[in-house]
Structures are given as structure tokens and as C-alpha cells.
Amino acid sequence: MSPSFLDRFKNGLSKTRALLNADVGDLLRGHRPLRPEDLDALEEALLAADMGVPAVQEAMEHLRSKSGEVWTQGVEAMRALLRDEILAAVDRPLRSQPFSAKPWVVFVVGVNGVGKTTTIGKLAATWKAQGLTTLLCAADTFRAAAAEQLEIWARRTASPFHRGAEGADPSAVLTDGLRAARSHDYDAVLVDTAGRLHTKGNLMAELSKMARVAAREVPGAPHETLLVMDATVGSNGLAQGREFAKAAGVTGLVLTKLDGTAKGGAAVAVVRELGVPIRYVGVGETLEDLLAFDAAAFADSLLAD
Ligand code: GDP
């Protein structure tokens, strides 16, 4: 892993780290002897970072059960235990090997405003830098502005783009997009989906129809379904996440706006709740501000100096 990657992870998590440091920095850095009440302060800090009650309780149980070790071996033992807890909480295996099929079809789902379109642009740019061509497919036909936004990202990243008429059947737009991708031998297709339908039933019906259509056009598609979540809303976004996860068969998460929040601990809460790995994190608004999620880098960055 290049040092710049870790630095960028650290920058993205700087607000969350500042919060932890303000409350328990001394404790984690060994600037004073440990006291039993330190564990309570740590618990509060982790809750404030939005790690979520169940995950924090579990981590604290573990730390308390090892408190003998912590008291005798001091701060390094405490840091190592906490790092391992966080790492274990966010580390999940990938469901599939990216680009093991062509085109690699990725559905991108989530409520409006979380950063779906921006994430698609960033992913297209990342993959382009790896020599891959990605078609951006605007299957959110409810909002004309959504397709226009996506088209801007397609231009910015010099990527092919496909859209349908406003109000067209998203599955029909998707079918045409996938056929175009196949005939041009593109490496990947990123599919932008509607962020809001009138009822949950509609959402489910539409996403499962799109999945069926995708599988008909490209075997195994969608190969990934990424749920984009806004880290600044922290664990409050979980209820929405649950709905999408149920409706869309989510295989991975993208956590955006980590740069803007002290609630980076929400990563732990969402992985625990939804049971799928975080694939990427957004740490800013430009094309370069997307990082492939690395559980070890995440845990290290949270607890770094
Ligand atoms: P969509 O409605 O889900 O497609 O959301 P957009 O992609 O239009 O993003 C909504 C807003 O969030 C825009 O102003 C983006 O610039 C901003 N945004 C997206 N990702 C990030 C991120 O990782 N960090 C920050 N700071 N802003 C982001």
C-alpha cells in the first residue's frame, strides 16, 4: 500500500479522529497512566463517533475482559485491542472478484443526495486510469436532472454514456445500455438508479425487474449492487439502508462524505447492520476523492496520531 493512500485515508477521517483524540487522545497515546474510568470515556467517544450501540458494547466487553492485560501492558495493549476490534468489525470478504465478467455490471443504489452520481463519476475515472472503459447508464428516468448530471460526469471522464427518454421504463433503458456495452466490448457498466419511488413496493419491483433484465443480457449481472450511504447522517441512515438492502440485494457499500463528518464510526455500524463489505469511501468532491476501502487502513487511520 502506498503511503499516499494511507495519508488520504487519514485526511478523510480527520474529523472523526479529532473527535476521538479530543476525548481519549491522552489515553490512547499514553500521556498519563490508565485509570479504570478511562474505559467509560472511551466508550462515550466511540458512541459519539457513531459506531453504534451494539458494536461499541461488544468492543467494550472485549476490552473490559482483557483489562488485566491493558493495565499491565499499558496503552499499547489498549490501542492494539481497540484496533483489532475495529478491524474485525469492518472487515468482510468480497462477494465476487471485480472484472471477472465482461462487461462488469454494477448497479448503484441509494436515496437522492447521498452522492450516487458523484461516486459513479469517480469510479469511472478510477477504472479509466486502470485502462478500462466504463459505460455510464442513466436508469433513473424519473428525474431528467439525474441523467444530465450523469452525462456531465461521462464527459468529464471521457466515458461512453447511455440514457433513455424522460419517463421511459428504466429496464428498457438498461437493456439498451447493456446491449451497447456488449457490442462495443466495454469493460464495465455503471448503472445509476432512481433514488426515490412513490412507494417501497415500487422500488422493490423496479429493482428486481432491472436485475432480471440485466441477467438476461449479461450472465451473472448485476455483478455488484453498491448501496451509497452518506456518512454525515451516520447511523441515522441505517433505516434507509435496510430498505435498500432488502429491495436490491446489496453486495457492497460506498460511504461518502467521510471528509465532512466526525461520525466516521458509522462505517462500523453499517457493516454490522447490513452484513456486506464497504467497497469504497468518498473523501471529497473531486474525481480523485474515492478510495477503495481497506479495513486495516481504516482502523489505523482512526487511531493514528
Ligand atoms: P446523488 O443525488 O445521490 O446522485 O448525489 P450527488 O452525486 O449529486 O451528490 C450530492 C452532493 O454531495 C454533491 O454536492 C457532491 O459534490 C457531494 N459529495 C458526493 N460525494 C462526496 C464526498 O465524498 N465528500 C464530500 N465532501 N462531498 C461529496
Quote the DSSP letter at residue 233: G
pLDDT of residue 292: 94
Task: Report in angstroms the alpha-carbon separations of 158 from 4, 155, 192.
Answer: 26, 5, 17
pTM over 0.75: yes
Quote the DSSP letter at residue 196: -
List the residue whose alpha carbon is closest to atom 2 of ligand 1. Answer: 113
291 neighbors 43 (Cβ within 8 angstroms) = no
140 vs 184, residue with greater confidence: 184
pLDDT of residue 26: 66
Task: Report in angstroms the alpha-carbon separations of 68 from 58, 63, 242, 294.
Answer: 17, 9, 38, 31
pLDDT of residue 199: 66
Query: Strands 104-109 and 224-230: what pairing?
Result: parallel
pLDDT of residue 194: 85
Ligand 1 geometric centre to CA of 149 (Å): 11
Residue 116 CB–ligand 1 contact under 6 Å:
yes
Q: Candidates 9, 107, 118: which one to mutate for ligand 1, based on the most atoms within 8 Å of Cβ?
A: 118
- 111 pLDDT tier (thresholds 50, 70, 90): confident
* 229 three-class SS: strand
- Sheet arrangement for strand 224-230: 161-163, 134-138, 188-192, 104-109, 224-230, 252-256, 278-282, 290-292
Quote the DSSP letter at residue 285: S
* 282 three-class SS: strand
pLDDT of residue 256: 95
CA dist., res. 156 & res. 283, Å (int):
19
Q: Candidates 8, 256, 258, 279: which one to mutate for ligand 1, based on the most atoms within 8 Å of Cβ?
A: 256
Number of alpha carbons in the 13 Å side-chain half-sphere of residue 170: 28
CA dist., res. 195 & res. 200, Å (int):
11
pLDDT in tens, 187-235: 999 999 988 755 667 877 888 899 999 999 999 999 999 999 999 886 6
Angle at 239 between CA 236 and CA 243, to 5 degrees: 150
pLDDT of residue 200: 67
List the residue whose alpha carbon is closest to atom 13 of ligand 1. Answer: 115
Q: Compute the average pLDDT of residues 48-57.
A: 92
Ligand 1 geometric centre to CA of 14 (Å): 18
pLDDT of residue 203: 77
Residue 96 CB–ligand 1 contact under 6 Å:
no
Structure-block grid coordinates of residue 179:
446491449
